[in-house]
Each structure stands twice: as structure tokens, then as C-alpha cells.
Copies of this chain bind each other. A is one copy, B any other.
Amino acid sequence: MHTSKSAHLKIMAGNSFGQIFRITTFGESHGEAIGVIIDGCPAQLEVDLDYIQGELDKRKPGQSKITTQRKESDTVKILSGVFEGKTTGTPIAMIIPNEDQRSKDYSHNVDVFRPSHADYTYQTKYGIRDHRGGGRSSARETAARVAAGALAKLLLKTQGIEIVAHVSSVGKINSPNVDFSNPAQFIEEREKNIVRCADPATAEEMIEYIDGIRKEGDTVGGKISCYIKNCPVGLGEPVFDKLHADLGKAMLSINAVHGFEYGSGFAGSEMRGSEHNDIFVKNHLGHIETRSNFSGGVQGGISNGMPIEFKVAFKPVATIMHNQQTIDSEGNAAEISGKGRHDPCVVPRAVPIVEAMAALVLADHWLRNRNSILS
């Protein structure tokens, strides 16, 4: 009988998300294309391609003076699973060709590990990496998420569920709380400025701050707040797939995210039970709601019908236009100078990504729980 030969191969398989509404993304920053397959989207959903493209346009590079100047049209094309404008229940493949592949801009990265990038970890894990623009670790991959998330939003819209997010902080500049009870108006307000903050005065301050940072060749972090309206009671599958746990994983899987909190969040850990408890009351329509919402719309891991509210923290972009010390692939000291085209602050372009990932979680949990909420 046969004895196996050893081999020095390495394994990876974490490119799918969701249980029923399940996506698998592929593609590198400077390869032929990036894309996504959605398996598990219900049949007969009307597919509004303009809406999907519109969401991608909010994420694409080159939008304004405070985003990277890399040019990509990010035009999405559906290859399967849609017939005469409707989903057929079969897998939906969407691709976005890469256009502006100035790979030579990255030739200086072949042999050095950029600080706080994924060069070193990818190289060590796989023993090989597509160094051009970060390869698979590039935030370009999130375009595929936005495309899939836009489809998830269309599904949720059939149920009246609305997801909106905006930039609530840049560096130490914080937006006051903004009313999101009218999602359309919230988005309209947010889209009036290039930083995607729904409070106009704060937006102005943020833009000026980012622009200054950019001129210094530096970068800065920020936070995005997200709100989900009209989520029915019952979404979330304890004890591990709690709704907020899946939202947390979704957000933490986005490039540069370093923190997630929902409801009272970190501040809640400083509160007393007698302040924090959300008292149940019947409203004037006879519906059950809670007087406060420190639970952030989720109790015991299951949505309670109140708005779902969470916040996501992004670290500053690692690529800066300064010379930095580092090591090369041999472990020798080296210096790296920031070239290429990058964002001074990632949060304005990350707003549609946060919404997309939230939509993917909600669509999946709506389907997982569907039997409860239909009966």
C-alpha cells in the first residue's frame, strides 16, 4: 500500500460569508477582475442594476480631492442567475474588471514589507504573494462586497428594512447625533458632502481636517455609525450566531477596522443596571417598544424591533507619503518611501462598505429566521 509524499503547501479558505444568503468573493487588486458569487438569493427578486452600480460609485476611487486619485470606473456586470430582470434562484455571479493596473507603481514593494500592511503576514503564511497593490489584501476587494450588499439591500427593501450609515468621527472630530428616522433624507443630506457625514457643519470641519492631513502626506482614522430601521423582531440565531455577533464579525472583516460596539457599547460598561435597562412600554399605536435603546435593538442576540445601532472604528491608512524604516524579505533593515495613490482617510469611501456588510448580515438572518416572521 501507498505512503504519501510530504509537500510544502499552504491552505486558505475564508472567502465566503453568510449561511443562506452566502457570498464568495475573489480577485486581486491588479489582476484581471474582482467579483463575487451570491448563492442562496431567493428567486423572483427584481434586480435594479442601476442601484447596484450607484452603490459601487460611492465606494470607487477618484471621487473627490480627499480620496485616492487611482481611476477605476468599477463597472459591474452580471454573468448569471438573473433572467428577464429577475433572480432565478441560481447563483448570481458579478464581476468588476480591473482597469487602472499601474503595476509598476508597486515594483518598489516586491522585496520590502510595508509597515502595518499585510505584506509580511501574507508572505509568511503562503510563501508567495501578489505584491501589486496589496494583491488580495487590498481594500479593492471590498468592491465585490458592495455589489453583493446592494443586492441584499434590494431584498431587504421588499421587507421595508432600511440600512443607513455615515461618518460620525474623523480623528477627534465627532458629529453630534443625527436623526435617521427618515432614511432617504438622511442619505440625501450625507451625500451633499464628500466626507459622507450627515451633519453639514461637522462635515465641513472634517473635510478641511482631512485635506490638511493629505497635504502633510499623512493619514487619519475615523468612525462610522450605522442604523437599521424597520428590522422585525426575531432576527439572530443564539447562542453563537447572535445578530450583533455576526454584525461584529462582518464589520471587523473590513480592512482597517479595529473596533465594533452596538447599543451602549464601551460606554455601557461604565453604567449601572438601573440606568441601562430598557423599559418595555406600549406606544400610541399599541406596539411594544422600549423607552431607551441601550440594547441597540438586539436582546439576547435577537432583534427586538427597535432600531439597530452600532459603531465601527477604522485605524488610519497605513500608506503615508513619508519615508519609513522597515525590513526587507531577507530580514535586513530597509527604508520605504510612500509612493502610489492612496486615501488620506478611508471612512468616506467605507460608508457603502459598512452598509453593504450590514445588509449581507441582515439578509442572511432574515432568511434564516424567515419562518418565524412569516407565520
Contacts and interface: CB of A to CB of B under 8 A. Distances in A.
Nearest to A123: B233
Given A122-B302, A273-B219, A242 B237 contact: no
Nearest to A23: B240
A319 B332 CA distance: 58
A375 B304 CA distance: 26
Nearest to A30: B83
21 contacts: A2-B231, A8-B44, A10-B371, A12-B43, A12-B237, A16-B24, A16-B240, A26-B92, A35-B93, A115-B290, A116-B299, A120-B280, A121-B303, A122-B302, A171-B270, A248-B260, A252-B260, A259-B261, A264-B315, A265-B313, A269-B314
Interface in A136-190: 136-137, 141, 155, 158-160, 169, 171-172
A62 to B, nearest CB: 20
A26 B90 contact: yes
Interface string A259-302: 11111111011111111111111100011111000111001111
Q: Interface residues of A toward B: which range?
A: 35 or more
How many copies the complex holds: the figure is 4
A199 interface: no
A252 B374 CA distance: 28
B39 A13 contact: yes
Contacts of A124: 233-234, 372
- Most B CB contacts (10 A, CB to CB) among A306, A314, A315 go to A315
A297 B92 CA distance: 28
Contact of A15 (B95, B121, B239): B239
A258 B264 contact: yes
B262 A259 contact: yes
A176 to B, nearest CB: 17
Interface in A181-219: 213, 218-219
- Most B CB contacts (10 A, CB to CB) among A25, A42, A230 go to A42
A227 interface: no
Contacts of A155: 9
Interface string A233-252: 11011111110111011001
- Most B CB contacts (10 A, CB to CB) among A117, A137, A266 go to A266
Given A4-B374, A270-B171, A374-B4, A43 B238 contact: no
A226 to B, nearest CB: 14
Contacts of A322: 274
B299 A371 contact: no
Given A42-B9, A160-B2, A300-B121, A32 B272 contact: no
Contacts of A47: none
